[in-house]
């Protein structure tokens, strides 16, 4: 690769009037880039340079779309950032109209398989885990104690079971359980217990006096499938030792059933891949997200399911997303989720500028529009087949929009509830994000990060920026990596190191 | 004690027209109680019986106060519960007026001491803990890993240090950081790091790109006192191993300083005792809370600090609480916190009925007014010297109202931020609630619970209901127990068993 500065600049679309600096150390003032343009400032990696003389009021174009408006004259070669551009207003939801123009289906691909754990209900696990759900934070001390004890004393006897995971959360009591918003955390807990990786062995630890009745967390067929609820206030428990013994017995009953599960060959169509980005930089939308988007298309072509999310990250690009809705119904649902979130933020006295972090800005993302465009790229190009409200389960294969907040752990938690069995996470600035329920494949958007975090990143999409690999190549690499990890053949970094975030519920209602 | 049924009934105040059944198995229909009254129903323990013939519209009096209105005629001997009484409207905040009539100071008591860890700033610890704060959930996997590694590899070399506690939470990114409400979670994290039990050794693990800048969590004198911030995105960390090594080095620096701390004799006036009840029943307000209230008065008389909390549990008794405000300013602050919370609940489409749990009702608490009156009892009888907003630190000794939600772990978290060094928790139905930062003394409101949970309850206030011990006796027992536990001489049940809840932030703002 030549050290010619022009090679360290990317235009995302032909009509763009800004380019993105891709050199790992940035480009310095005075450097000549394409079209004889001389840089007027030192411009860091991931940041934007004006490729034309711009006047105050001119649109700033990236990805061929308007990401901002110059708030001052900006001369060719200048650094373009949140100081000299203003954010365009988000598209009004009222004015949006869907027309039957959703993308044509891509050619199917066949013959791709992985080794998974088939469940009776048709879902497929990529791990075999005893999941312990809880109805209230009050029991968290006990479940942490029990989780460690099961891992130490029982798991060695059940070699086909990968792990035990207790889901402690802050919901269940001291909450406004009758507000409309309460259904979100409640169904989230309920549906996480049904995640394919728990093999439909549903075990709940409750206290007894909490507002959230543990029975509400059971599936409809709870009796048939041997679901269990243990209440710590059960009068038959004489003291702590008896509680522990009771829970251990119940756990062992579930472990015996889980231990009969074995990996069998499954079609790639059994994949439910949740996509997410966090700690994004300007490269995320150039490298990592397009690579994920390419792989998303492959999964859809193979008949699988892809989830993308993060309402506040697509809200400002909703006009670009809407035409991809498969039907009028999907379009309506998409708009309805945006509207719900607009209202939620307004009630909370927040606005859209609340997204984009200091890290995003330092990474070159000037505002939420630029971030949204880069974020949407990871959904690939196929039609949106369904919209899933927060905490709900998926109903349809293909590409699904799962409406969630953008915070990594909240989004991941809701994607788990939706039924995700594989997770792909793109980061530019770096996060050790990991979940214990599903494997998280972490993609770096730039090679500087993957070089530094060599043992925390699973796939480097940085070469796309330097032109040494292309999106298609890396998209296929990611697709194969997903199949290998889903099969248990390869382990992701966070599983090797044992780094796991907490699951965090989305509770839009008040505490009492 | 005689098995005369009349002995198993308590009238809380002479003017009451209901009595409380205290027999552990309840009293059966047909039983004759005081004044020749014959029970019309089986009435469970903790529940109310009508002591007069009541007409629809009559006030139901308990503690000498109106806790409800009969919604039907209720004959003498009938079971009185949420089915046949309606909740009175909460007192309007607009109509409340404070008059200078706050209680006269009680006689001071002297000579009570405990063995504590004195801090430079005058606060006193009851444990000696390395606290690791975090600025964002993204780092939680790492801090859990590090916490275990420090406990295993470093703590054995620092015998004066009791434990290491990493405070992981769900705040820091993906939140509306600029909303007015954001200051609550932010100052809570900041002030918890300053809890006396952490010895002013402030260590923060941040990611680097999060919205909540770790520097905002440092105290004003951060430079002088050697506070440290480690960022995982620090470019000098080449991979996970380097991060771990860097954090371990920093932790060891703090451990060296903490290890020089030793217990010395401290006055009882150095106690900061947080009071709370959870999983309450009708006995809480008869036995456990009055015992706690007596001890609260003793602590105040000894010059110490007492925190009581739970806005939604005092809101409906605010007219009774207001006269105890020490000054007009305190009265105004009290009303202002009630108003803020009313607005917060209204925005969230919740109302006061959102408090009282199914367990409360089964335990005999018909509504929030009855619960409020029983809850307020635990604050004792002294003047309210100050009102502390959620997440703020205390400024004054004596009795403080710390305005928090009523959920146990959220309230406990905010009391920790306020500066609590001892915790007293009263429960009727039973909860294994425990915190790792401060000892939690758990009081049962009835002996049935303490018999069953013999290894989870530290003090039984049940004998008060049976007349075998009185509030004063048990109040002194509790006071001495607090001093012994604060000294490290006695260990509470949850410390013996290692049962610890999560700390849960109060974030009234939206997620983004």
The C-alpha of A214 sits at a distance from chain B's nearest C-alpha, in angstroms, of 12
Nearest to B233 among A348, A354, A430 (CB): A430
Question: CB of A450 within 8 A of CB of A512?
Answer: no
Contact between A452 and B355 using a beta-carbon 8 Å cutoff? no
Mean pLDDT of the region A118-133 = 97
pLDDT of residue B85: 95
Identify which of A400, A433, A419 has the alpha carbon closest to the alpha carbon of residue A299: A400
Mean pLDDT of the region B467-479 = 95
Contact between A360 and B209 using a beta-carbon 8 Å cutoff? yes
Concatenated DSSP letters of B101-137: -PPPPPPP----EEEEEE-TTS-EESS-EEEEEES-G
The C-alpha of A269 sits at a distance from chain B's nearest C-alpha, in angstroms, of 31
pLDDT of residue A506: 97
Angle separating helix axes A408-418 and A183-192, nearest 10 degrees: 60
B-chain CB neighbours of A338 within 8 Å are: none
- Pick the residue from chain B with its C-alpha nearest to A346: B510
Distances (CA, A) of A39 to A61, A62, B51, B177: 19, 19, 89, 35
Identify which of A273, A296, A276, A285 has the alpha carbon closest to the alpha carbon of residue A445: A285
Contact between A501 and B179 using a beta-carbon 8 Å cutoff? no
The strands making up B9-10's β-sheet, listed across from edge to edge, are B9-10, B18-21, B48-50, B79-80
Concatenated DSSP letters of A378-407: GG-SS-EEEEE-TTPPP-SSEEEEE---S-
Dist. CA B143–CA A349, nearest whole Å = 32
Of the listed ranges A206-210, B219-223, B298-302, B397-401, the least confidently predicted one is B219-223
Contact between B433 and A138 using a beta-carbon 8 Å cutoff? yes
B-chain CB neighbours of A167 within 8 Å are: none
Name the pLDDT band for A65 (thresholds 50, 70, 90): confident
Helix or strand holding residue B177 (H, E) = none
Mean pLDDT of the region B383-409 = 97
Q: What distance separates the 2 farthest-apart alpha carbons in chain A?
A: 83
Question: CB of B423 within 8 A of CB of B273?
Answer: yes
pLDDT of residue B166: 97
Nearest to A455 among B181, B240, B510 (CB): B240
The C-alpha of B273 sits at a distance from chain A's nearest C-alpha, in angstroms, of 21
pLDDT tens readout for residues B58-72: 999 998 888 999 999
Nearest to B408 among A138, A434, A497 (CB): A138
Helix or strand holding residue A116 (H, E) = strand A113-118
Contact between A501 and B452 using a beta-carbon 8 Å cutoff? no
Q: Which of B135, B209, B499 to mutate to test the interface with A (most CBs of A within 10 A)?
A: B209
Name the pLDDT band for A210 (thresholds 50, 70, 90): very high
pLDDT tens readout for residues A432-483: 999 999 999 999 999 999 999 999 999 999 999 888 999 999 999 999 999 9
> Both tokens of residue B69?
């209105």
HSE, CB side, 13 Å, CA atoms: give it for residue B463. 12
Contact between B174 and A408 using a beta-carbon 8 Å cutoff? yes
Nearest to A406 among B345, B509, B512 (CB): B512
Contact between A452 and B238 using a beta-carbon 8 Å cutoff? yes
Identify which of A314, A304, A235 has the alpha carbon closest to the alpha carbon of residue A273: A304
Identify which of A441, A437, A433 has the alpha carbon closest to the alpha carbon of residue A419: A437
Burial (CB count within 10 angstroms: exposed 0-12, middle 13-18, buried 19+), residue A205: buried
Contact between A145 and B433 using a beta-carbon 8 Å cutoff? no
Determine the 3-state secondary structure of B307 from DSSP: strand
Nearest to B138 among A238, A431, A506 (CB): A431
Question: CB of A303 within 8 A of CB of A114?
Answer: no
pLDDT of residue B64: 81
A-chain CB neighbours of B168 within 8 Å are: 502
Question: CB of B83 within 8 A of CB of B311?
Answer: no
Contact between B430 and A144 using a beta-carbon 8 Å cutoff? no
> Both tokens of residue B285?
């307000």
pLDDT of residue A361: 84
- Pick the residue from chain B with its C-alpha nearest to A411: B174
Share the mean pLDDT of chain B.
94
The C-alpha of A440 sits at a distance from chain B's nearest C-alpha, in angstroms, of 13
Dist. CA A229–CA A207, nearest whole Å = 10
The 3 state secondary structure assigned to B240-298 is HHHHHHHHHHHHHHHHHHHCCCCCEEEEHHHCEEEEEECCCCCCHHHHHHHHHHHHHHH
- Under 8 Å CB pairs connecting chains A and B tally to 276
- N-to-C CA span, chain A: 61
Contact between B354 and A176 using a beta-carbon 8 Å cutoff? yes
- Pick the residue from chain A with its C-alpha nearest to B232: A431
C-alpha angle B359/B360/B366, rounded to 5°?
130
Dist. CA B228–CA B200, nearest whole Å = 11
Contact between A345 and B181 using a beta-carbon 8 Å cutoff? no
- Pick the residue from chain B with its C-alpha nearest to A142: B499
Contact between B137 and A504 using a beta-carbon 8 Å cutoff? yes
Contact between A454 and B181 using a beta-carbon 8 Å cutoff? no
pLDDT of residue A1: 43
Mean pLDDT of the region B14-22 = 91
Number of other CB atoms surrounding residue B258 within 10 Å: 22
Nearest to B502 among A168, A176, A405 (CB): A168
Contact between B410 and A170 using a beta-carbon 8 Å cutoff? yes
Residue B371 pLDDT > 90: no
> Both tokens of residue B358?
């199914």
Residue B2 pLDDT > 60: no
| Cβ neighbours for A151, distance < 8 A, ≥ 6 positions apart | A163, A164
Residue A231 pLDDT > 80: yes
Contact between B175 and A235 using a beta-carbon 8 Å cutoff? no
Nearest to A512 among B406, B430, B504 (CB): B406
Dist. CA B277–CA B408, nearest whole Å = 8
B-chain CB neighbours of A499 within 8 Å are: 141-142, 145
The C-alpha of B276 sits at a distance from chain A's nearest C-alpha, in angstroms, of 13
Residue with tokens 């009021």: A57
Contact between B354 and A512 using a beta-carbon 8 Å cutoff? yes
Q: Which of B25, B427, B512 to mutate to test the interface with A (most CBs of A within 10 A)?
A: B512
β pairing state of A79-80 and B459-460: unpaired
- N-to-C CA span, chain B: 61
DSSP state of A11: -
Question: CB of A512 within 8 A of CB of B312?
Answer: yes
- Pick the residue from chain A with its C-alpha nearest to B356: A211
| Cβ neighbours for B3, distance < 8 A, ≥ 6 positions apart | none
Contact between A350 and B145 using a beta-carbon 8 Å cutoff? no
Dist. CA A106–CA B445, nearest whole Å = 67
A-chain CB neighbours of B499 within 8 Å are: 141-142, 145, 240
Q: What distance separates the 2 farthest-apart alpha carbons in chain B?
A: 83
Nearest to A350 among B139, B500, B509 (CB): B509
Dist. CA A415–CA A403, nearest whole Å = 9
Name the pLDDT band for B1 (thresholds 50, 70, 90): very low
Determine the 3-state secondary structure of B20 from DSSP: strand
Share the mean pLDDT of chain A.
94
Angle separating helix axes B183-192 and B408-418, nearest 10 degrees: 60
Question: CB of B417 within 8 A of CB of B195?
Answer: yes
pLDDT tens readout for residues A249-294: 999 999 999 999 999 999 999 999 999 999 888 888 889 999 999 9
- Pick the residue from chain B with its C-alpha nearest to A427: B209
Dist. CA A46–CA A49, nearest whole Å = 10
Dist. CA A169–CA A147, nearest whole Å = 15
Question: CB of B268 within 8 A of CB of B299?
Answer: yes
The C-alpha of A377 sits at a distance from chain B's nearest C-alpha, in angstroms, of 20
Contact between B279 and A168 using a beta-carbon 8 Å cutoff? no
Percent of chain B with pLDDT over 70: 98
Distances (CA, A) of B345 to A311, A509, B172, B180: 25, 9, 23, 16
Can you say whether the dihedral through the CA atoms of B4, B10, B13, B16 is positive or negative?
negative
pLDDT tens readout for residues A300-336: 999 999 999 999 989 988 988 999 999 999 999 999 9
Name the pLDDT band for B11 (thresholds 50, 70, 90): confident
pLDDT of residue A6: 73
Contact between A209 and B348 using a beta-carbon 8 Å cutoff? no
Residue A280: φ, ψ to 5°: -75, 155
Nearest to B456 among A240, A312, A432 (CB): A240
Contact between A512 and B208 using a beta-carbon 8 Å cutoff? no
Mean pLDDT of the region B326-333 = 97
Contact between B362 and A209 using a beta-carbon 8 Å cutoff? yes
Nearest to B170 among A429, A502, A508 (CB): A502
> Both tokens of residue B330?
């305190």
C-alpha angle B192/B196/B202, rounded to 5°?
60
Contact between A354 and B177 using a beta-carbon 8 Å cutoff? yes
pLDDT tens readout for residues B404-437: 999 999 999 999 999 999 999 999 999 999 999 9
Mean pLDDT of the region B284-312 = 96
Q: Please list the residues that pair with A231 across neighbouring strands.
A: A206
Nearest to B511 among A232, A357, A506 (CB): A506
Nearest to B430 among A233, A238, A430 (CB): A233
Mean pLDDT of the region B393-400 = 98
Question: CB of B296 within 8 A of CB of B474?
Answer: no
> Both tokens of residue A233?
């206030």
């Amino acid at each position: 690769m030549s050290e010619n500065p022009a090679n360290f600049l990317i235009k995302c679309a032909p009509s763009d009037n800004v380019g993105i600096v891709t050199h790992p150390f940035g480009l310095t003032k005075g450097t000549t880039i394409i079209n004889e343009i001389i840089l007027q400032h030192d411009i860091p990696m991931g940041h934007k340079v004006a490729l034309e003389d711009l006047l105050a009021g001119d649109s700033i174009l990236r990805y061929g779309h308007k990401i901002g408006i110059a708030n001052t004259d900006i001369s060719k070669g200048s650094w373009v950032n949140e100081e000299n551009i203003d954010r365009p207003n988000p598209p009004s939801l009222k004015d949006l109209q869907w027309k039957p123009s959703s993308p044509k289906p891509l050619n199917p691909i066949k013959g791709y398989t992985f080794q998974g754990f088939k469940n009776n209900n048709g879902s497929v696990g990529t791990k075999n885990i005893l999941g312990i759900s809880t109805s209230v934070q009050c029991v968290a001390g006990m479940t942490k104690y029990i989780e460690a004890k099961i891992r130490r004393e029982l798991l060695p006897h059940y070699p086909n079971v990968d792990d035990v995971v207790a889901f402690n959360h802050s919901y269940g009591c001291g909450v406004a359980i009758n507000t409309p918003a309460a259904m979100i955390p409640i169904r989230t807990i309920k549906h996480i217990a049904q995640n394919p990786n728990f093999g439909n062995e549903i075990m709940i630890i409750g206290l007894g006096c909490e507002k959230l009745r543990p029975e509400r967390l059971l599936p409809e067929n709870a009796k048939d499938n041997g679901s269990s609820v243990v209440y710590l206030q059960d009068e038959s428990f004489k003291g702590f030792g008896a509680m522990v013994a009771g829970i251990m017995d119940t756990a062992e009953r579930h472990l015996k059933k889980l231990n009969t599960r074995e990996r069998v060959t499954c079609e790639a169509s059994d994949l439910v891949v949740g996509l997410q980005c966090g700690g994004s930089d300007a490269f995320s939308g150039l490298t990592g997200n397009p690579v994920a988007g390419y792989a998303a298309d492959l999964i859809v072509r193979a008949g699988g399911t892809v989830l993308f999310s993060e309402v506040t990250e697509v809200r400002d690009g909703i006009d670009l997303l809407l035409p991809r809705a498969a039907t009028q119904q999907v379009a309506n649902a998409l708009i309805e989720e945006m509207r719900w979130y607009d209202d939620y933020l307004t009630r909370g006295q927040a606005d859209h500028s609340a997204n984009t972090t200091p890290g995003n800005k330092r990474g070159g993302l000037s505002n939420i529009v630029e971030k949204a465009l880069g974020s949407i790229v990871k959904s690939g190009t196929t039609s949106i087949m369904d919209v899933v409200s927060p905490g709900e389960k998926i109903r349809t294969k293909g590409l699904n929009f799962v409406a969630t907040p953008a915070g990594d752990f909240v989004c991941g938690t809701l994607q788990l509830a939706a039924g995700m069995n594989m997770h792909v996470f793109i980061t530019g600035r770096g996060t050790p994000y990991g979940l214990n329920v599903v494997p998280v494949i972490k993609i770096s958007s730039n090679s500087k990060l993957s070089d530094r975090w060599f043992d925390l990143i699973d796939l480097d999409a940085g070469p796309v920026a330097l032109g040494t690999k292309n999106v298609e190549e890396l998209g296929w690499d990611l697709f194969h990596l997903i199949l290998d990890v889903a099969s248990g053949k390869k382990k992701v970094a966070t599983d090797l190191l044992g780094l796991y975030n907490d699951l965090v519920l989305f509770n839009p209602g008040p505490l009492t």
